[in-house]
Structure 1
Amino acid sequence: MRRSTTRLLLTCAAIGVAGGIVFILEGLVSGTIAAVAPFLYGATLGVYFLPGAIAIALLRLPGVGLLTATLAGVVVSPFTSISFRAIGAAALIGLLQELPFAATLYRRRPVWLLYVGAVLAGVVLGFVVYFAFAVAALATWAQVLAWVASIGSPVIFTAIGHAVADGVRRTGVARGLSAAPEAVRPGGTR
């Protein structure tokens, strides 16, 4: 991150801590879902996209998604059964969210790239759920639902994160922290 001011780092930390608290609450729900309907477990994983999506959409700077997601993983690690591996899992999600922007060398930051990261990560999570919960042994409808949940949930939570970032931006509290949004081209596209 080229502009690592104290204010920027504290903003990432605040988003990460809030995200970590949400992760703790998600952990209470996901265990039940894994036991009762394992093919729906992917639907619970979308919550891990909130901190990174908020940071990327709000701050629009390289590395903020990865940093924020990793900090959220640090917060949740003492409260989860996977302990410190939660930090790596959260960092991986933050990295997957950053990849589409990194592919453009952070020169372009259109909103749709945020969703490309969500879909990319959703596919990766889909494979994890598919093999971890032996989804192949389930009925076809359950297999389809597992993939839809695993890919759709990150997109939905990315949209929620994007909406939160827009709301925070409108308040003006992040003024001076973020990179300038891309200019809107003729025709209304970014």
Structure 2
Amino acid sequence: MQRLSTRLLMTCAAIGVAGGLVFVVSGYIGGAISATAPVLYGVIIGVYFLPGVVAQALLRRGGVALMTGLTAGLVSAAFSPQWFFRYFGAGLAIGLLQELPFAVSRYRVWKSWVFFLAAGVAGVLFGGSVLVALGLEHFAPLAQIVYIALFVLSPIAFTAVGRGVAAALARAGVGRSISLPVDRRRTDAETRA
């Protein structure tokens, strides 16, 4: 197993703590939306994708989305213990969903389209499971379409925001010595050598 540097762990922790504070605010906003217009809840679900996207886009290493998602979940649970399982579960589930597409390439390819595809697929899976858990019979067909569409579009939009934050952090020098290249696949010339 590859050793994790203290610098990598501290960077993930800082991103996770910042994400956890955002989760707390979004949790209260989400509660208000759920009480007044539950069909629009998907608008804020993309917030839960931020810590993982920032960590992955900045560091381009395996496991960082899961570490930051879990950290964000634990930090937000400290501020809102009544929602411990909601925050912890969201951090775990979304962190795992964000890791899967990059794990397929054995964490060698970090192209932007993979981030957006992963966000869209995770939005469909997450939105569909929440809609089924709430009960499809409670929503009209048009409301179901709007609900799923928001669960897909919100993670994609917040993925763009997270990639922007990661780019700004990289320009500021954060993660310079611990981030890896975008594409680490071997070329034909390297393979023959």
**Global fold match (TM > 0.5):** yes
Contact 1:136/1:143 (<8 A) preserved? no
Question: What is the distance in 2 between the residues matched to 1:55 and 1:80?
Answer: 25
Cα deviation digits, residues 10-46 of structure 1 (max 9, x gap): 0000000000000000011001111111111122111
Q: Does 1:67 align with 2:67?
A: yes
Which secondary structure state, in structure 1, belongs to the residue aligned with residue 84 of structure 2?
A: coil
Most deviating of 159-168 and 115-124: 115-124
1:173 corresponding residue in structure 2: 174
Aligned to 2:188: none
Q: Distance in 2 between matches of 1:151 and 1:117?
A: 10
CA RMSD of aligned residues (A): 1.7
CA shift, 1:160, in A, is 0.4
Q: Is 1:40 the counterpart of 2:40 in the alignment?
A: yes
Is the Cα–Cα contact under 8 Å of residues 74 and 84 in structure 2 kept in the other structure?
Answer: no
**Amino acid of the structure 1 residue aligned with 2:70:** T
Give the drift of 1:159: 0.7
Deviations 1:122-170 (A, max 9, x none): 0111113312333443233322110110111111111100010011111
Match of 1:13 in 2: 13
Say if 1:42 and 1:152 are closer, same or farther in 2 by CA, change over 3 A: same
Superimposed CA distance per residue, residues 91-128 of structure 1 (whole angstroms, 9 cap, x where no aligned partner): 11011011000011112221211112211210111113
Structure 1 residue 116 and structure 2 residue 107: aligned? no
Identity %: 47
2:82 alignment partner, SS class: coil
Q: How does 1:79-118 map to 2 (within 5 A)?
A: 79-118=80-119
One-letter code aligned to 1:73: G
Larger radius of gyration: 2
Within 2, Cα distance between the matches of 1:27 and 1:81?
11
Query: Which residue of structure 2 aligns with residue 128 of structure 1?
Result: 129
- Alignment gaps of 5+ in structure 1: 184-190
State the 1:80 CA deviation.
4.7
SS of the residue corresponding to residue 2 of structure 1 reads coil
For the residue of structure 1 that corresponds to 2:83, the secondary structure is coil
**SS at structure 2 position matched to 1:146:** helix
Q: Contact 2:108–2:183 at 8 Å: present in 1 too?
A: no
Cα 1:81/1:44, change in 2 over 3 Å: farther
With structure 1 as the length reference, what TM-score do the two structures score?
0.89
Greater shift after overlay, 125-134 or 55-64?
125-134
Asked if the contact 1:129/1:150 (under 8 Å) is kept, the reply is: no
In structure 2, the residue matched to 1:156 is 157
Tell me the distance in 2 between the aligned counterparts of 1:164 and 1:58. 9
Could you say if the C-alpha distance between residues 3 and 157 of structure 1 is closer, same or farther in structure 2, counting changes exceeding 3 Å? Answer: farther
Q: CA contact under 8 A between 2:48 and 2:90: conserved in structure 1?
A: no
For 2:137 and 2:124, the matched residues in 1 are separated by 16
**What is residue 143 of structure 2 aligned with on the other side?**
142
Long gaps (5+) in structure 2: 185-193
Q: Choose 27-36 or 125-134, whichever is displaced more.
A: 125-134
Return the letter of the residue paired with 1:167. Answer: A
